[in-house]
Amino acid sequence: MSRAKLFIENFLAYGLINILNKIVPLIMLPIVTRMLPNTGDYGRFDLFNMIIDFGSSFAVLGIYDAIFREYFEKDELQYKMKVTSTGMQIVLLSSFVVMLILIIFNKAFSQIFLGDTNSTFIIVTAAIGVFLSANRNIISAPTRMQNRRTIYVVSGLSNSIAYYGLAILLVYIGLGYQGLIYGNLIASLGILLFFWILNKKEFHFKLSDKEIAKTLLKIGLPLLPVFIIYWAFNSTDKIMITHMLDVAQVGIYSIGARVASISQFIYQAFAGGWQYFAFSTMRDDDQVQLTSKIFEYLGIISFLAFIILIPFNQLIFNLLFTGDYTKGAEVFPYLFLSPLLSMLFQIAGNQFLVIKKSYYMTLSLALGVVVNIVMNFFMIKAYGIVGCSLSTLTGYAVSVLTVVIVTSRIKLLKLNIKFGLLSILMVGIVLSLFFNLYWPLIMLILLAMGLIVIGYGNDVLKLLKGFKKKR
């Protein structure tokens, strides 16, 4: 199979998988918000998910990516089984420790994350969620490393349907936002058991290897700050909104973020197929040129998606929601583009994983999250949750710019000047939208569209023709 065909088929296949997985939550979201008219209740549920993401980052220790990298180091089946088995045992222990810490210090974490000491129920249930989520990631890893895409369609869609069906039932019988939490935990346990039954032959406690453990930790631990920083990008804004505004505003912001997650149709499709593609082609002679082209093409897709959705922003929210939830439209555009910039960051940053210098990713992301947090202090006070969303987008943009500069200087990425010009136009579009500058916004959009057509039209046609010939 050609590399172009491998990447495109993986992209489309995982795109279908994640569209199916996202469609169910998006369909259910208007139903859930009508059953929970108080935005504060939805805010508490979203903070529950935020804590799971926080704990899982520590529990996994970067081992998932390390397993993915080391799995392709040798073609020996025995070695691959040692890699997966060793990784599983590390995460099993670390996730148990993290769960205990959250439970023991539940009041302290309640104050930090929710601004009071009365929300210990959320902390304790989130601790259990951390244990389930971390181990599910590792146990499902062989399925993705072996590129068994159909299984992800069935398991992901089934899990989403089961979760929302159960959660809505529990909310309906009077459990409120706690019903969403219980539904989440039960569904997580179900999908964990499913992947264990499917992949248990890939894991053996007797195959644990100390040298492989050292290698996995050497690759994974430098990535831990990366995942913490990713969490900070997605979560510190909610914590700061909780403390500087209130939980009700978190609920509105979270709804805006959930709807904006439609951009993750693109991001998750990329993420699902990218690691297999990137590491299976990392020794190719033209790997740098190939990665650079993928960066530019997915950058164009991201920019186009953002531009196309701008006119329909408020309409989408008015159709889906009622009451204060419609205010989520204010943060939607900036939170829509943020995951797509994260996708571009991972493409360029993966070059550091290839040469086993992942700390460059950490430093680049750290700079972005510092910019995000500092901006939040001023932007939330001045512009509320809208300012917070722009701060998040700005932080991601700074991280992408940093990693592009570094990878370009060490000859791991080569981008065309026209992509740089397009990026500058996108900055102007975002600022014009934020400050409601109507005519400059239209002019910049037209210039960006013209540059895309003139600069990349022929490349896209050649790519499509080449793909058809190789089918």
The DSSP-derived string for 417-455 is HHHHHHHHHHHHHHHHHHTT-HHHHHHHHHHHHHHHHHH
Q: What angle do helix axes 63-71 and 210-220 make, rounded to 10 degrees? A: 120
Q: What is the pLDDT of residue 22?
A: 66
Q: Apex CA 170: angle with CA 243 and CA 126, to 5°? A: 40
Stretch among 48-62, 211-225, 420-434, 441-455 having the lowest mean pLDDT: 211-225
For the cut 60, the answer to whether the pLDDT of residue 466 exceeds it is no
For the cut 80, the answer to whether the pLDDT of residue 358 exceeds it is no
Burial of 403-421, coded b for 16+ CB within 10 Å and e otherwise, reads bbebbeeeebbebeeebee
pLDDT, average across residues 399-427: 91
Q: What is the pLDDT of residue 467?
A: 44
Q: What is the pLDDT of residue 301?
A: 86
Stretch among 264-278, 308-322, 347-361 having the lowest mean pLDDT: 264-278
Longest dimension (CA), the chain: 67
Q: Apex CA 137: angle with CA 129 and CA 341, to 5°? A: 100
For the cut 70, the answer to whether the pLDDT of residue 267 exceeds it is no
Stretch among 182-191, 233-242, 247-256, 381-390 having the lowest mean pLDDT: 233-242
Identify the residue with better confidence: 278 or 145.
145
For the cut 80, the answer to whether the pLDDT of residue 339 exceeds it is yes
Q: What is the pLDDT of residue 275?
A: 54
Q: Which CA distances in Å does 117 have to 102, 251, 385, 446?
A: 13, 19, 24, 52
Stretch among 43-47, 72-76, 154-158 having the lowest mean pLDDT: 72-76
Q: What is the pLDDT of residue 169?
A: 92
Closest CA to 401 of 450, 449, 349: 349
Helix locations, 171-285, DSSP H: 177-199, 210-220, 224-244, 247-260, 264-280
**C-beta atoms surrounding 78 within 10 Å:** 9
Q: Which CA distances in Å does 389 have to 167, 228, 337, 383?
A: 28, 19, 10, 10
Closest CA to 232 of 108, 125, 330, 374: 374
**C-beta atoms surrounding 244 within 10 Å:** 15
Q: Which residue carries 């709807």 as its tokens? A: 259
Identify the residue with better confidence: 23 or 89.
89
Share of the chain above pLDDT 90, in %: 35
Q: What is the pLDDT of residue 20?
A: 61
pLDDT, average across residues 439-462: 84
Q: What is the pLDDT of residue 263?
A: 79
Query: Which tokens go with 3?
Result: 């590399």
| pLDDT (tens digit per residue) in 57-94 | 889 888 887 887 777 667 677 778 888 888 889 999 99
Task: Establish how many alpha carbons lie within 13 A of residue 206's alpha carbon, considering only the half-sphere containing its beta carbon.
Answer: 2
- The amino acid present at 190, given as its one-letter code, is G
Stretch among 247-256, 397-406, 436-445, 462-471 having the lowest mean pLDDT: 462-471
Stretch among 91-100, 133-142, 263-272, 330-339 having the lowest mean pLDDT: 263-272
pLDDT band at 12 (very low <50, low <70, confident <90, very high): low
Q: Residue 201 class from Cβ within 10 Å (0-12 exposed, 13-18 middle, 19+ buried)?
A: exposed
For the cut 60, the answer to whether the pLDDT of residue 182 exceeds it is yes
Tell me which range, 25-34, 94-103, 283-292, 348-357, is most confidently predicted by mean pLDDT: 94-103
| pLDDT (tens digit per residue) in 380-392 | 999 999 999 999 9
For the cut 60, the answer to whether the pLDDT of residue 11 exceeds it is no
For the cut 90, the answer to whether the pLDDT of residue 143 exceeds it is no
Q: CA–CA separation, 370 vs 35, rounded Å?
A: 37
pLDDT band at 1 (very low <50, low <70, confident <90, very high): very low
Q: CA–CA separation, 351 vs 95, rounded Å?
A: 29
Q: What is the pLDDT of residue 96?
A: 95
